[in-house]
Chains A and B, each alone.
Chain A
Amino acid sequence: MVHAFLIHTLRAPNTEDTGLCRVLYSCVFGAEKSPDDPRPHGAERDRLLRKEQILAVARQVESMCRLQQQASGRPPMDLQPQSSDEQVPLHEAPRGAFRLAAENPFQEPRTVVWLGVFSLGFALVLDAHENLLLAEGTLRLLARLLLDHLRLLAPGTNLLLRADRIEGILTRFLPHGQLLFLNDQFVQGLEKELSAAWPR
């Protein structure tokens, strides 16, 4: 199952560092069971830890993506797509996976699968020993849905104030972090439901 899903910024590989990696959206499906913490404000501490874990993942993904882009010798990613109608070839987008050891940063060992699309990074934090082929496919699907339904390729749009739509997509396609075996027709069916509930 998926422990968390996040969307974050990706900076172009060869430019100067002019900012920080920003987590634009994250959803944790159920918190890790924290050890018994008799001190007060334990809940706040857990929340802080959770946020920092997500940020650590985002930074790692950004670093991996940047390294992969450099190594592949491709020209630096166009941060802005050429046109909003462009079909993004997600099968060719930079992607990868890496393992996170226990306690670093999550209590349990986890695997991260990531995908880079223009200036956005998408990542799934998985339990160890998950079906990575399914996870990869799900991540590509989520990225495609988000690009389409939030019209992320159009200039000027952003996803910061569109959390409801992101949540709508996640509740259908990744309910409670459950990876689903959805063939094309099922995907279409769910998309129709989504469009009905969220008129554009």
Chain B
Amino acid sequence: MFSAGAESLLHQAREIQDEELKKFCSRISKLLQAEDLGPDTLDSLQRLFLIISATKYNRRLEKTCVDLLQATLGMAACPEQLQVLCAAILREMSPSDSLSLVWDHTQNSRQLSLVASVLFAQGDRNEEVSAVGQGVLRALESRQPEGPSLRYLLPIMAKVVVLSPGTLQEDQATLLSKRLVDWLRYASLQQGLPHSSSFFSTPRARQPGPITEVDGAVATDFFTVLSTGHRFTEDQWLNVQAFSMLRAWLLHSGPEGLGILDTDDRSEQEGSTLSVISATSSAGRLLPPRERLREVAFEYCQRLIEQSNRRALRKGDSDLQKACLVEAVLVLDVLCRQDPSFLYRSLSCLKTLHGRVRGDPASVRVLLPLARFFLSHGEAAAVDSEAVYQHLFTRIPLEQFHSPMLAFEFVQFCRDNLHLFGGHLGTLRLSFPNLFKFLAWNSPPLTSEFVALLPALVDAGTALEMLHALLDLPCLTAVLDLQLRLVPLYQLLQPMAGCARVAQCAEAVPTLLQTFFSAVTQVADGALINQLALLLLGRSDSLYPAPGYAARVHSVLSSQFLALCTLKPSLVVELARDLLEFLGSVNGLRSRASLVTSVVSPQGGHCADDHTDEAGLPEPRPDPQVPGRGGREASWLSWGRDVASEVFPSRCLEMMAAAQGLSVAVKDEDPDSESSHQLHAQQGGCGSHLHPGHGAADPAEDAQCGPVCAHTQHGGVQPPISPRCQHGPAPGLAHGQPAGGEGGRPPAGMKGQRPGTPVQMKRVRESWERRQGPGWAWHPQRPMGLAPAHPLGFVSEPFSPRQR
């Protein structure tokens, strides 16, 4: 399809020199002057189009040539092929100051359309859009010759009002509104006549039949885009175009500022007009044109909604029905915003539609504009929006996360309508685990959307769980993939770490973490900051083993830890005991020792137990690296930096392993073998999937648990995986726990193996357990053969807030 030959053609077109182009142009000029409209001209114009369009830099064409191209556009008897090419060439040259096209009312409407396309491309430097608009209106007003003519003009009008709203005067807009009413409401219900009726065809064969519905039944009411037949009349074509441009016309055709009612006025108006609505539309005929158009638009939408209930015979029509439903809801939304008296009638119709559509997975995308409608107008109508959102935010993501278009629209819906959620914002926030499904499955297009959406989802009550969810996003991707493939979860989860989709999601997480932390620090109080800091440290070595993931996340987590210390310098002091225990090592490992020394050194450091001031806080130690900052805080910051560099070292843990002589931990050939299990048992039961975060380790080589075990064995603040790093073999390994671990779904909290577990970590652990619900606890004593109560228990339900 795109072959080497095409590549060379493109290259030639770009490289053609000015001299050669000049010659080519004069050849074309000769052909056009001679009015030679044959294949040579066609071929030359095709080449000229390629030359112009192939490069982003301007090509200078001879003035004669340009003039002739413009003239050819206006020629009466020129084949369409040549005229479209001339127009395309002029359009590709634009914006250009060398064009002098004018709107000539003597041209036929197809030519006018081509001229309009060139004029639009000028960028409205000289009010071209307005001129085109006026030209079209004049053409519409003048007496029309027979044959297809207006069909080409309506789309131009639509473009004019979109590019330049308010360009029409009131009376002009009114005139066109009247015509739109005619086309929308009174198109013929008979099929069109065949173009050629020969002498030999019988009268009966020439009788057109009636228009039908998409299911084959005879049309029951006025003509719409969902009416079918073998041939169509001009007014039926105009019906299609009129509806296609209707929403844009309603939005943009009014004088500036009168398109939409102000939101403040609207709620008042809606409330007051609901009680006095008359449901009849018979009075509609006496309405002024703009109001009449709205009435007709309303009836058209109602008819479409009814027609969409029919079972279409063709797939294309079935797809169109869904698109029509979406459009009908969007138009009704515009109508209600412009005139609240439509609200009562719209609501009854749309509530019925909602009931019909919510049970049909194929129509899921119609639910989004419906939800938006209820969000916008629900207050006035006492719609049970809560039920709408519950359904929207629970079932849809669960079942349809894999559809790229739905995922995009769903997230866009959330993002664009945040200001409308009001009291329902809580529902949205609690649904973040389900929203994350879209993100986990479709990371590349949705990451930037979520960067915009995430701050609105962050809430102090859900912050910890959200952090877990973000860190575990790649794992979620793997889970969803498995869900689709119907494979037992924990046996295959670990090898998924290398798959592309998981890797893509893993790429997205660092950005999201940054956003999360920026947002959460706005709402976090002191206690939460402490919890975040500990959690962050604790999770730092419990990350899903996607290649490179841990390294990238560590980079973010370490800077965020420092940010938390900067935000609340006393953090390191308040958590001193926890941090010391976490880092301390009775084996006197090199790096640990240095930190411990710096903390407890009598020379100038401070210790949690000694040299405290009146408040019980350690005395500050001057920090040469932080000049100008207050003594105490400077020292704390410095300590925070030390902690960060210890927790997220690049090579530290490996070196620790070497120092401890745990060389047996590296590169187990067969992670699943029995010997491997024994090996891990000897090391204190780390069937670890963890990577200290250096480099893209092969996730299948999961046996590097040694270093992790080494530093966690002695920490009171135990990272999540530590429960298995107990002294002695962990039970449960013999029950078929894959040595690869469970792919990174560790608990947030510590399983209280050691006495004196800090209160903070206990709280985190409890919240984790609450989140998982019964039957799913990452409990080392539980044999892994026992499946959790809900295989996807940690992802399928919306989060319920934990009790403080």
Contact = CB atoms under 8 A, between A and B. Distances in A.
B590 to A, nearest CB: 42
A118 B1 contact: yes
A158 interface: yes
Contacts of A189: 231-232
Contacts of B311: none
Contact of B3 (A111, A158, A164, A177): A158
B95 A47 contact: yes
B525 interface: no
Contacts of A186: 232, 240
B770 to A, nearest CB: 33
Instruction: Select the residue from B162, B226, B243 with max chain A CB neighbours within 10 A.
Output: B162
B231 to A, nearest CB: 7
Contacts of B102: none
Interface in B1-50: 1-3, 5-7, 9-10, 13, 42-43, 45-47, 49-50
Contacts of A64: 444-445
A144 to B, nearest CB: 10
B81 interface: yes
B623 interface: no
A176 B42 contact: no
B794 interface: no
Interface in A78-113: 79-81, 95-99, 101, 111, 113
B159 interface: yes
B117 interface: yes
Interface stretch (B322-330, B424-432, B457-465, B662-670): B322-330
A127 to B, nearest CB: 7
A31 B94 contact: yes
- Interface bin, chain B: 35 or more
Contact of B323 (A22, A48, A73, A134): A134
Contacts of B42: 164
Interface string A129-170: 101111011000000000000001100111011111001100
B116 interface: yes
Interface in B714-768: none
A97 B121 CA distance: 26
Contacts, number: 242
- Interface bin, chain A: 35 or more
B404 interface: yes
B96 interface: yes
Given A131-B323, A132-B409, A181-B240, A33 B123 contact: yes
Nearest to A52: B56
Given A47-B96, A183-B316, A183-B317, A132 B120 contact: no
A179 to B, nearest CB: 6
Instruction: Select the residue from A1, A101, A179 with max chain B CB neighbours within 10 A.
Output: A1
A164 B6 contact: no
B53 A80 contact: no
A22 B53 CA distance: 12
Interface in A1-19: 1, 9, 19
A114 to B, nearest CB: 10
A113 B93 CA distance: 26
Given A181-B225, A183-B226, A163 B56 contact: no
Given A26-B53, A160-B50, A183 B214 contact: yes
B365 A185 contact: no
Contacts of B49: 163
Interface of A: 1, 9, 19, 22, 24-34, 42-44, 46-48, 51-52, 55, 63-64, 67-68, 70-73, 79-81, 95-99, 101, 111, 113, 118-120, 127, 129, 131-134, 136-137, 152-153, 156-158, 160-164, 167-168, 171, 175-187, 189, 197-198
19 contacts: A33-B163, A43-B95, A51-B56, A55-B56, A63-B444, A70-B500, A95-B404, A96-B404, A96-B408, A97-B405, A158-B2, A164-B46, A171-B114, A175-B152, A177-B159, A181-B244, A181-B324, A183-B320, A185-B229
Given A1-B158, A163-B53, 13 more contacts: A24-B10, A33-B124, A71-B501, A72-B501, A73-B500, A161-B46, A171-B113, A171-B114, A175-B156, A176-B117, A178-B241, A180-B244, A181-B244
